[in-house]
Structure 1
Amino acid sequence: MNVLIVESSKDLAAVWRRHLERMGAVVYTADTQDTATDLLHEIPFSVIVLDLVLEEGSALAVADFASYRQPETQVIFVTNTSFFSDGSIFQHCANACAYLPSATSPSDLATMVEHYAQAAEG
């Protein structure tokens, strides 16, 4: 399974990456909208772990592009803010499958990624 992590904090992305790689995932990271969309042009992903607040670019633009380019790809949104805490992210992004705090344990996040990757891969 190919997983894309889109996270401005390289340290946090590295922690998540290590957990996912231990589960056998092939993990790519991007810290900007442009890098994420470039990767979406080149590589098919089962799941995207996407920080809702990026330092450069828009997470919603990444999710929208993924929905167009790779409609089967599931997006797990993570955030350390209260944006969309009412669950409305699921109304805005058809490919959203989960909404989690950034502080979710890396092993729990990896388990969710594995679950949604299996669903995306059929």
Structure 2
Amino acid sequence: MKVLIVESQNDLAQIWQKHLERMGMSVSLALGQTEAIRHLSTHGTDIIIMDLVLTDGSALAVADYASYRQPEAKVIFVTNTSFFSDGSIFSHATNACAFVQSATPPEDLAAMVEHYGAPTQQSGAA
């Protein structure tokens, strides 16, 4: 599974990366919008873990670009703020599949990546 982490706090991103790599996932890091867009334009991604509040750029712009460039990729948004705590993020980003706090334990985040990043079965296939 290919994972892109878009997180301005490099230390936090590396904690997530190491945990996911131990589970056999291929993980790339981007520190902001520019790096994320560059990655998405040249590499396939199954799932994106993205901080809602980026130091460089807009997480919603990255999610929008991802939905255009890689429509099958899903986004797990993380945050340490109360923005979108009402669940409205799912209206603003059609590829959002989860919304969790940045302090979520890495093993819980990895379980979500495994769940949401798994290939979907096509119904009616015979």
Contact 1:46 1:120 (C-alpha < 8 Å) held by counterparts: no
Shift of 1:32: 1.1
Q: Which stretches of structure 1, 4 residues or longer, exceed 2 Å deviation after superposition?
A: 119-122
Task: Please state whether the residue corresponding to 1:72 is helix, strand or coil.
Answer: coil
Distance in 2 (alpha carbons) for counterparts of 1:63 and 1:121: 24
Give unmatched runs, 5+ long, in structure 2: none
Distance in 2 (alpha carbons) for counterparts of 1:121 and 1:78: 27
C-alpha distance after superposition, 1:22-57 (max 9, x if no partner) = 111000000010000000011110100000000010
Provide the residue aligned with 1:104 in structure 2.
104
Give unmatched runs, 5+ long, in structure 1: none
Provide the residue aligned with 1:66 in structure 2.
66
Task: Please state whether the residue corresponding to 2:118 is helix, strand or coil.
Answer: helix
Shift of 1:120: 5.5
One-letter amino acid of the counterpart of residue 29, structure 1: L
Distance in 2 (alpha carbons) for counterparts of 1:32 and 1:118: 25
Distance in 2 (alpha carbons) for counterparts of 1:32 and 1:15: 17
**TM-score normalised by L of structure 2:** 0.94
Provide the residue aligned with 1:37 in structure 2.
37
Provide the residue aligned with 2:51 in structure 1.
51
One-letter amino acid of the counterpart of residue 38, structure 1: R
Distance 1:16 1:120, change over 3 A: farther
Shift of 1:66: 0.2
Distance in 2 (alpha carbons) for counterparts of 1:83 and 1:121: 33
Provide the residue aligned with 1:87 in structure 2.
87
Shift of 1:84: 0.2
Q: For the aligned residues, what is the CA RMSD?
A: 1.2
One-letter amino acid of the counterpart of residue 71, structure 2: P
Shift of 1:114: 0.8
**TM-score normalised by L of structure 1:** 0.97
Contact 1:46 1:121 (C-alpha < 8 Å) held by counterparts: no
